[in-house]
Amino acid sequence: MQIQGYCDPAFVAVQNAFAAQFAGHNPQHGGAVCVMLGGETVVDLWAGVRDQAGTLPWQADTLVSLYSCTKTFTGVAALQLVAEGRLELDGPVSRIWPEFGCNGKSGITLRQLLCHRAGVAALHQPLAAGAVFDWETMVDVLAGESPWWAPGQAQGYAPLTYGWLLGEIIRRADGQEPGQAIVQRVARPLGLDFHLGLFGADRPRVAWLSRGRNDFGDEAAQRLMRAINREPASLTGQAFNNPPGLMGWGNRPEWQTFVQPAANGYATARALAGFYAGLLQGRLLDPALLREMTREHSLGEDLTLRSHTRFGLGCWLDQPLANATFAMGPHSFGHPGAGGCLGFADPERELAFGYITNTLGPYVLMDPRAQALARAARDSLA
């Protein structure tokens, strides 16, 4: 497999680790990795194929669905509105969204939504599959929902409701549609190839998603899948499969063209790393707000993921656990995406990292492929 792009000789270990992903008995189809150090690119590599037939080579500008890596882009846009005085971290969300303040949700704050403690991690009301594409339907249903637990008293990751909740709050505070507001705020200032809703010439650049073979993940992944499949009425089951079909729609045109600010951003690895480099450089948030974003806000057993999680505001924080570490430094922050994508920053090393793949893995927290690349980058700095 030919590896393309640029790699500083000091980081050849990253290139070797990346090449290894395309060899062996279960190679991945395509992907890219980017590492920036002090704002300078030291690794920008890509390889493999991007189409279903396996005939079109991966390009420097190939895009991939980031899934939940999208959440931090959305969270930063919300924090920018806090800095501008248009949103409050600790005031009730119902001040800007009055319809939301019913059925036990009147005291829910933006801070609680950003760190997954609000209790609105899933829907109780069953919806038809097509509802996911109707913004007004989704936000109206969420406005009428009741929490799964007393807000602030527990944590439970919101894989999809996060997008409609934060997106509607951003829409009301910013005045633009959520996708436009988020991209304009966090991508355009940095010149990032990041999109929420793909149109025109951008759609042919998207890599076809497929699932890896003979990889059933670790115990956390297996535990989550058992809950989704065997307990459909549970918080976990509803969070991932209401509206139904969401987990298998990544290649559908309607998924690619609508806006879901928790789960369907599209980017290159270069854009993913560039976003975190911009955060470290103070180009998106001032230092005080970045410190607030990246301090621990929630830690413990996650009611949705049924694993131990640790959150800042709109981001995951490092845990010294094999399946939950960014494999870099204890102050690292970022976000994984379903299937394997990962973006994060290590402020101690001034390092920003982006990894994307179109070969989806089953892991719940961090994907071992991304961790291997991060470890190689860390060891290159030793």
Q: Which domains does the chain have, with CATH numbers?
A: 4-68+204-380 (3.40.710.10), 74-183 (3.40.710.10)
Tokens of 152: 């602030």
Three-state SS letters, the chain: CCCEEEECHHHHHHHHHHHHCCCCCCCCCEEEEEEEECCEEEEEEEEEECCCCCCCECCCCCEEEEECCHHHHHHHHHHHHHHCCCCCCCCEHHHCCHHHCCCCCCCCEHHHHHCCCCCCCCCCCCCCHHHHHCHHHHHHHHHHCCCCCCCCCCCCCCCCHHHHHHHHHHHHHHCCCHHHHHHHHHHHHHCCCEEECCCHHHHHHECCCEECCCCCCCHHHHHHHHHHHHCCCCHHHHHHHCCCCHHHCCCCHHHHHCCCCCCCEEECHHHHHHHHHHHHCCCCCCHHHHHHHHCCCEEEECCCCCCEEEECCCCEECCCCCCCCCCCCCCCEEEECCCCCEEEEECCCCEEEEEEECEECCCCCCCHHHHHHHHHHHHHCC
pLDDT value, residue 65: 95
User: Per-residue pLDDT tens for 105-144?
Assistant: 999 999 999 999 999 999 999 999 889 999 999 999 999 9
Residue 327: which region, alpha, beta or left (left: phi > 0; alpha: psi -120 to 50)? Answer: left
Tell me how crowded residue 164 is: count the other CB atoms within 10 A of its CB: 26
The pairing of beta strand 333-336 with beta strand 4-7: unpaired
Per-residue pLDDT of the chain (382 residues; tens, 9 = 90+): 799 999 999 999 999 999 999 997 778 999 999 999 999 999 999 999 999 999 999 999 999 999 999 999 999 999 999 999 999 999 999 999 999 999 999 999 999 999 999 999 999 999 998 899 999 999 999 999 999 999 999 999 999 999 999 999 999 999 999 999 999 999 999 999 999 989 888 999 999 999 877 777 889 889 999 999 999 999 999 999 999 876 678 899 999 999 999 999 999 999 999 999 999 999 999 999 999 999 999 999 999 999 999 999 999 999 999 999 999 999 999 999 999 999 999 999 999 999 999 999 999 999 999 999 999 999 999 8
User: Per-residue pLDDT tens for 252-275?
Assistant: 999 999 999 999 999 999 999 999
pLDDT value, residue 199: 86
pLDDT value, residue 218: 87
pLDDT value, residue 267: 98
pTM (two decimals): 0.97
pLDDT value, residue 19: 97
